[in-house]
Structure 1
Amino acid sequence: MCGIFCLLSVSPTQFEWDKTVHEHLKRRGPNLSQDLTVGGTNPCYQCLFSAHVLHMRGLLTPQPVQDKTGNVLLWNGEIFGGLPVMTEENDTAVVSQRLSSCSSPSEILSVLSTLRGPWGFVYYQKAGDYLWFGRDFLGRRSLLWKFDAEVSALTLTSVAAHSSGPAPSAWHEVPAAGVYRIDLKVVTEAGAVTFEIYPWAHGGNDLVSSCNQTILESVPNGCTAVMNQPGLTLTAPVCPLNRAIPKSLHKEEIHPNTHSCVKDLEQLLASKEKSDETKRLIDFLSEAVRRRVQSLPFRVQDNSPVSNDHASIAILFSGGLDSMILAALADRHIPAHQPIDLLNVAFKLQVPKKQKESAKKLVKHKNKPQESKTDGADSQTSSPFDVPDRVTGRAGLKELQDLNPDRRWNFVEINVTKEELQETRQERICHLVHPLDTVLDDSIGCAVWFAARGAGFITEDSDQRPFTSSAKVILTGIGADEQLAGYSRHRVRFMMSGYEGLIQELAMELSRIPSRNLGRDDRVIGDHGKEARFPYLDEDVVSYLNSLPVWEKADLSLPRGVGEKLLLRLAAKQLGLGQSAVLPKRAMQFGSRIAKMEDNREKASDKCTRLLTE
């Protein structure tokens, strides 16, 4: 993974880039930083490329990569399939070599279409004076753009900086609707920037209309986006969503308050068809996890085994269904002597006024020991960090220990106070979440940042000691709810509009996940010099789930804790997990209790004033 930056200037004006942006980029890529400037004399333009590398595989490869003919590549990605990358090879070098051999747009699109894994890139094609850039189909790597009309400069970057003041931000996320090409000769002559769009397409079904709408909403002021003249497209790496609706709908009685239990799943697995579907999902997910936990830095100087404490892999861990399955599958593919870090974040619960008053009374009447002991029992035994995700996290840890008692599971308790939250938000997190700006972005961005930092405590033999995760790779469960109807809004839509409405909701979920979640989470986790990996968004997993009719993935006539993400719950049962298989969905902002720290009257979609810099 890397922090990448490109500044295209089509005027002679000197343009200085924000030092805050530079610092953010360096934190993303702590292993090597390098700048490179290229330009054309006729036409006159200048491109400043800056790259900051987090070394993840093969030999450490400096970026920007410039080949013998003058092409330049900035690459922020991981190749997990489609293009062969040997163990000792670096994927940046492999992509650079393949792109260097391309002489036409269709050849470049062919290379990009084969890639499997997350990526964001900027590529300067010297022959013809072209600048290409874009993100993968699912938008799993951040790329932002901004155009400064005063100095005729376009900026592309992995991460930006939030500027103070009431003026609206000029930064936008580059839509993951396709890739883009700028003809630098035309730009220089016209004095204005025009992007050619090369959209993703499913076979013969192009996505031009939806692409146009998505892109037009994000195009920087002063720029223009047009479809490429030959009508070339990229081949989407996943199959289209199955929109089939059953001919005969059996209206089952819905029991929303019925208690769900593991026996419900056992009964469903008795069906061979359901059991086979579940096994196939496990196979796809297991392979997705394997690719992500075994594609680790190639150790040239250090061939010694990982120490007892130091893990290579960490998981954002709540003890809920999604993270438990990731942990169980990671256990299959990580050597037994290596630990796995389970990162569990909690925000300090605020003591209610009544409880504070009770505590004062206890102090005042401390000469009554019997009464004092009874009233103060809870405060002595519970911690203000015993939030719901901490409770389910400990229960999940016990399940994993039962599953593999020989594995060292580092359950990292990450505790955050209101004071630390407020200070870090202003100093760092507001810049990383930007240009997103809602209350929900604030809550999740902050929770993920502290979790990914991995600084907390682990408990050994009833003793707590400070611990900081050393893992460079962090697995996250994002994508499971969006594909398997895990949110409460999916149940509401199903109740109102049946399967047709649910399918429309799921299609929308997957199309907007790049702009709502993935860029933000990549920026937040990358700030620690760590890489986010998303097994539920592996192309093969998405294709398999897209191929299934919706009623095979979820049955929302069944109660909470069973019906939503039904197929994944069955997978958990087949993997040997227990009560975690039937835990109802709980959003991270509520499970970690960060939502309780601030204004409870806010809506998730409100603009968050706390993200404004002072």
Structure 2
Amino acid sequence: MCGICCSVSFSIEHFSRDLKEDLLCNLKRRGPNNSRQLLKSDINYQCLFSGHILHIRGPLTAQPMEDERGNVFLWNGEVFSGIKVEAKENDTQIMFNYLFSCKNETDILSLFSKVQGPWSFIYYQASSHHLWFGRDFFGRRSLLWHFNTIDESFCLSSVGTQTSGVASQWQEVPASGIFRIDLKSSAISKCVLLKLYPWKYISRENIKECLTQISADLPTFVSVVASEDKLYLKKPVVPLNTMLPQTPLEIHCTDISSTPPTRETLQVFLTDRHMKKVVQQFIDVLSIAIKRRVLCLPRDESLMPNDVLKTGDRKANVAILFSGGIDSMVIATLADHHIPLDEPIDLLNVAFMTKEKNIPTSFNKKKSKQKNHCEIPSEELSKNLAAADGDSLYKQFSVPDRITGRAGLKELQAINPSRMWNFVEINVSLEELQKLRRTRICQLVQPLDTVLDDSIGCAVWFASRGTGCLVTQDEVKSYQSSAKVVLTGIGADEQLAGYSRHRVCFQTHGLQGLNKEIEMELGRISSRNLGRDDRVIGDHGKEARFPFLDENVVSFLNSLPVWEKADLSLPRGIGEKLILRLAALELGLTASTLLPKRAMQFGSRIAKMEKNNEKASDKCGRLQINP
């Protein structure tokens, strides 16, 4: 994970040798281990490159990197497959070595087509005055652009800034392919021409529509065109299987809609030999994806076997955004297979303060039996509520995700009692939410600006910060997660029909409509979710990793007919994400296999804290910085 930035000016009198202080601060928070800047000047333009490193892999390699030809490289990514990177090598150096050997555009496009893993990059070719940049196919790493008509400049950056009282001028670089700018030509013509090399999956008709959409948000002195040579990037995943059944699907269970679903209901599907094989293949490909994401990070190998620290003294290297739902439970179970047994795993569980009267009675049934497990609030909150008794605090943070999270913890402890599972209870008050949204989070969520972006952005920011407490039968103690890697389950709902809108679509348009909805979900995931989540998690000097969006996982799921992934004729808690529930069952999970989908904003109760009458798609005034 890195914070990368390139500021380009075509006007010498307006050029600044330093980034603005707030932008520099935001970049350094993403990359706290090393910072460096590099200035490249030409008679027609000036480029200021800024790199900020979160060291995770191989030897610490400072950025920006410069070679003997004057080429400059900034890389914010992870090569998990496609290009060979040894365990003790740094992928930034490997990528730069490959770029050095590229002789033409085709070679560059071929290189980035091979990379499997999240990435964004900026690459300056000195001899041709070309500036290349882009994001991976899913847009798992943030990259923004800002074009300034006043001083003839533009800026590319992992994260932007927001000026008080001014609408955000930063926009996300579309994950439509790789862009190239001829800086010399742009300086002479006073017009920035963006040349797009799209992913191959985009048809010629769709490219025109894509170019129109990109151009609509750009100032008049910037235009975008497709490569006239019809060069493209190879799509890293197979096309979605849109096949429909030749005959009506077999109904596995009778009267299932009239009875509560049970694990035995799911077990029926596994009696089908083909389905059992498909589920095992899914487990295998997802397990490999998670293995790559939990082993590509430094561990203390200096300890001799006889000098191993007590498990309680070891620090976690991997954390999971954890609600106890099916997505996070499967990730935790498979991560447990690969992370060294003496290393703890942090389960980050966030809850926003609720009023006692809003707590459903069903969530408080076991209150009297659990008085020794009352949460304590975060540091700021404890100052405000020092006089409140533990029982009251327990009620105020007994949100749905906290309840299922605790239940999930017990399941994981039963599967592997030898593992130290750190269930981190992260409690957030209204006061703390409003303060940190105003001072930090609103800058990270922008340029996205809806009520939904606010809710999820804030929830993910507090969760990934990892500041909370560990509650055991013996004690309650404050805790700060040290994990640099944060696993998240995003991508499961989009591919496996997990949202309620999928069920509505199926009921209205059948399997054909459901296929189109799933295809659309994956196509827009870069602009709806991933850039925002990368900026929010990266603000803590941590790296977001998305195993459900591993290229091999997506290709496997894309290859299956939709009815092997979900059966929305079945009730909630079974039909959506069916293949994932069957995988969970095979992995030994119990009650969590039947939990219905619950959105993070509702499970954490952040959506209930301020205004209850808002629509998710409404523009959110709380994300604006007021003068």
4+ residue runs of structure 1 moved beyond 6 angstroms?
203-206, 251-255, 300-304
2:380 aligned partner: none
Give the Å deviation of 1:302.
7.5
**How far apart in 1 are the matches of 2:171 and 2:455?**
20
**How far apart in 1 are the matches of 2:160 and 2:393?**
44
1:173 aligned partner: 172
2:280 aligned partner: 279
1:25 aligned partner: 27
| One-letter amino acid matched to 1:240 | P
1:397 aligned partner: 409
Give CA deviations for 1:244-285 in whole Å, capped at 9, x if unaligned.
Answer: 122334596996674221111111111010000000000010
| One-letter amino acid matched to 2:195 | E
Secondary structure of the equivalent of 1:458? strand
CA contact (8 A) 1:170 1:220 kept: no
Give the Å deviation of 1:39.
2.2
Structure 1 position 46 matched with structure 2 position 46? yes
CA contact (8 A) 1:257 1:559 kept: no
1:368 aligned partner: none
1:416 aligned partner: 428
Secondary structure of the equivalent of 2:13? coil
CA contact (8 A) 1:255 1:557 kept: no
Structure 1 position 337 matched with structure 2 position 337? no
CA contact (8 A) 1:254 1:559 kept: no
1:468 aligned partner: 480
Q: Select 1:534's aligned residue among 529, 546, 549.
A: 546
2:79 aligned partner: 79
1:477 aligned partner: 489
Give the Å deviation of 1:212.
2.6
Q: Which runs of 5+ in 2 are unaligned?
A: 361-387
Q: How does 1:447-596 map to 2 (within 5 A)?
A: 447-596=459-608
Range with greater deviation from structure 2 (69-78 or 15-24):
15-24
Go from structure 1 to structure 2 and tell me whether the alpha carbon gap of 1:420 and 1:277 turns closer, same or farther (over 3 Å shift).
same
**How far apart in 2 are the matches of 1:203 and 1:305?**
53
**How far apart in 1 are the matches of 2:157 and 2:78?**
18
Secondary structure of the equivalent of 1:440? helix
Go from structure 1 to structure 2 and tell me whether the alpha carbon gap of 1:410 and 1:128 turns closer, same or farther (over 3 Å shift).
same
**How far apart in 1 are the matches of 2:258 and 2:461?**
35
Secondary structure of the equivalent of 1:234? coil
**How far apart in 2 are the matches of 1:216 and 1:505?**
26
TM-score normalised over the length of structure 1:
0.93
**How far apart in 2 are the matches of 1:381 and 1:589?**
20
Q: Select 1:310's aligned residue among 307, 315, 322.
A: 315
Q: Select 2:39's aligned residue among 37, 40, 48.
A: 37
2:381 aligned partner: none
Structure 1 position 103 matched with structure 2 position 115? no
2:265 aligned partner: 264
| One-letter amino acid matched to 1:387 | V
Q: Which runs of 5+ in 1 are unaligned?
A: 356-375
Secondary structure of the equivalent of 1:555? coil
**How far apart in 2 are the matches of 1:284 and 1:217?**
40
Give the Å deviation of 1:378.
12
2:382 aligned partner: none
Structure 1 position 327 matched with structure 2 position 332? yes
| One-letter amino acid matched to 1:31 | N
Secondary structure of the equivalent of 1:231? coil
Go from structure 1 to structure 2 and tell me whether the alpha carbon gap of 1:485 and 1:254 turns closer, same or farther (over 3 Å shift).
farther
Report the count of equivalent residues.
591
Secondary structure of the equivalent of 2:525? helix
Go from structure 1 to structure 2 and tell me whether the alpha carbon gap of 1:477 and 1:5 turns closer, same or farther (over 3 Å shift).
same
Give CA deviations for 1:177-233 in whole Å, capped at 9, x if unaligned.
Answer: 100000112101101111000000149999634543553344455310001111100
Go from structure 1 to structure 2 and tell me whether the alpha carbon gap of 1:377 and 1:442 turns closer, same or farther (over 3 Å shift).
closer
Secondary structure of the equivalent of 2:516? helix
Structure 1 position 605 matched with structure 2 position 604? no
CA contact (8 A) 1:452 1:528 kept: yes
| One-letter amino acid matched to 1:228 | S
Secondary structure of the equivalent of 2:199? strand
**How far apart in 1 are the matches of 2:122 and 2:330?**
35
1:149 aligned partner: 149
Give the Å deviation of 1:163.
1.8
Percent identity between the aligned chains? 54
**How far apart in 2 are the matches of 1:395 and 1:464?**
18
**How far apart in 1 are the matches of 2:79 and 2:359?**
55
TM-score normalised over the length of structure 2:
0.91
CA contact (8 A) 2:15 2:46 kept: no
**How far apart in 2 are the matches of 1:300 and 1:409?**
21
**How far apart in 2 are the matches of 1:354 and 1:471?**
32
Give the Å deviation of 1:97.
0.6
Give CA deviations for 1:388-423 in whole Å, capped at 9, x if unaligned.
Answer: 000000000000000000000000000000000000
Secondary structure of the equivalent of 1:235? coil
Give the Å deviation of 1:8.
1.1
| One-letter amino acid matched to 1:469 | S
CA contact (8 A) 1:472 1:530 kept: yes
